[in-house]
Copies of this chain bind each other. A is one copy, B any other.
Amino acid sequence: MNTNGFRDTLYTIIFEANTPSGKAFDVALFATIGVSVTAIMLESVPSIAAHPGASQWFKSIELITTLLFSIEYVLRLWCSPKPGPYARSFYGVIDLVSTLPFYLAVLFPATGTLAVIRALRLLRIFRVLKLSRFLIEGNLLWQSLLRSSRKIGVFLFTVVLLCVIMGTIMYTVEGPENGFSSIPLSIYWAIVTLTTVGYGDIAPGTVLGQFLASAIMIMGYAIIAVPTGIVTVDLANNHNTKEPTLKTCENCGNSCSKDANYCPECGTEFPLND
């Protein structure tokens, strides 16, 4: 019973954001993620990494933040009434992945070649995704995008088909002598152009090529209207059916109807609606 009381208190602190201690926990988590991710970034800057003692600092920060994240992960598993669904949820996987590289490096020090170290560093940056826990509002936006995802998917697929065709035509027209050295590279160029990014690392040199490029640009300038229209119409319809019909599960971050008593994703019981 004593343990249960402690577990319940911990649950309130870790999973809920309404109490003062819950808010303090969130702020501490936010700060730890900030310190950890900043350290990973700065470690990659040659002029900073060259400083004497920098390596020692970065190792210390890595050790401390990883320990804190490990403790958080274990406590989350221990507190959660249904640890299985949490471990398999999006946030659960992120929580695990963000601590794992450290232990892998400790366990298999012999594999520490450059490529592996880099891949590990890569995994650590995913800690930044833990910040998305604070984006409850964002769920509605992404839901809108997801709800339109089939239409947007069809649109993007059409864009890619278009780029494959236009890239091949440009490869034939311009050829390797103007930098279009292969079909895949020409398709890459078509994507750079159609999306209006326009690096300029490859640019058409022949008159016909510039004419075709102009056509691609104007096409890209006009068809950007399609995804914008899709999302706008969806948001406008979503706006009419008022927002508070959704609530977010504290355990796994899933959103569902406000009427639900249990999270349909992980089974956590919701507190009664006030």
Contact = CB atoms under 8 A, between A and B. Distances in A.
Interface in A9-57: 37, 40-42, 44-46
A199 interface: yes
Interface stretch (A66-74, A78-86, A223-231, A252-260): A223-231
Given A155-B141, A225-B232, A227-B225, A196 B199 contact: no
B201 A217 contact: no
A138 B154 contact: yes
Contact of A141 (B188, B226, B237): B226
A184 B45 contact: yes
Interface residues of A, number: 87
A38 to B, nearest CB: 10
A198 interface: yes
A142 B222 CA distance: 13
Given A141-B151, A236-B233, A192 B168 contact: no
A181 interface: yes
Interface stretch (A102-110, A121-129, A266-274): A121-129
Nearest to A207: B184
A235 interface: yes
A165 B125 CA distance: 7
A100 interface: no
B239 A239 contact: no
Contact of A210 (B128, B188, B237): B188
A195 B218 contact: yes
A144 B151 CA distance: 12
Interface in A101-140: 118-119, 121-122, 125-126, 128-129, 131-132, 135, 137-138
A233 to B, nearest CB: 5
A182 B126 CA distance: 17
21 contacts: A41-B183, A41-B187, A46-B181, A46-B182, A118-B172, A122-B172, A138-B155, A138-B158, A184-B207, A188-B211, A191-B214, A195-B218, A196-B197, A197-B198, A200-B200, A201-B203, A222-B227, A225-B231, A225-B232, A226-B231, A229-B232
A-B CB proximity, top 8 nearest: A197-B198, A199-B200, A229-B232, A225-B231, A44-B183, A200-B200, A195-B221, A229-B231
Interface of A: 37, 40-42, 44-46, 118-119, 121-122, 125-126, 128-129, 131-132, 135, 137-138, 141-142, 144-145, 150-152, 154-161, 164-165, 168-169, 171-172, 176, 181-185, 187-188, 191-201, 203, 207, 210-211, 213-214, 217-218, 220-237, 239
